[in-house]
Structure 1
């Protein structure tokens, strides 16, 4: 019985056969959309906290609470952002790092209150277009970001879309 318990513990902790990823995904609601339109819609859903179809600093600050995996609510580390962007939205780890670098404005290796600048306000449609353009033009526009198999597939999918195709209902 003790051997069985130790084996189960080792499988969960060490990740043999993918069990740790399964449990992480199960407990952290890791069920990202498969299609790019869905990914952009989940980003909007998470960043429109009050549901008023406007994304403001308040909405984004609330969403950032869900990036906390280590109990430091006021500090977001790169691994936390990468975890959120791969688990919740379904992007590659490379894109998660890319987004971390965009959020870490003062380039101190963490995202804190100091990284949030001027007040912002986007309509839901503008927020979707902004995220679509960021992914398509800034990220996929760099050929080195198409080397990862996940990015290759997702960039090809987003290449076939236009901003008008991104509709969330």
Structure 2
């Protein structure tokens, strides 16, 4: 199949307007794609650096390493900012929980429901409680630590040992 069939006629026309042959227009199109790809890598790195440095400065200024977690914070946030953080946390919990293996979800069930799951509890309720616990206790790190170090790894141990990682 010819590359031209993958490029819409409208898009190809844009590049043909700047060249004298279709082959050159296709080459220009490909160079544009490569340039865009290179720029996205730089933009992503810049965004990550900016986000991390902003986070570090807020932590240093307000002395609150958990300022971005829902709940009480020393950072004076507006209502819409607290709502945005809560929404983002909820989405992150759902995304993280959906990627867990069955074994990991079963392990979380044991912590979320220490006396066993109540009869008639829906999957949605279990997933919500499990995912809340997952991010409430240092996220994936807690889960992975448990699998690495066995059942002797408790909530208290993780909270005590992981507090300095933030």
Q: Return the index of the structure with the highest Cα Rg.
A: 2
TM-score normalised by length of structure 2? 0.29
Higher helix share: 2
TM-score normalised by length of structure 1? 0.29
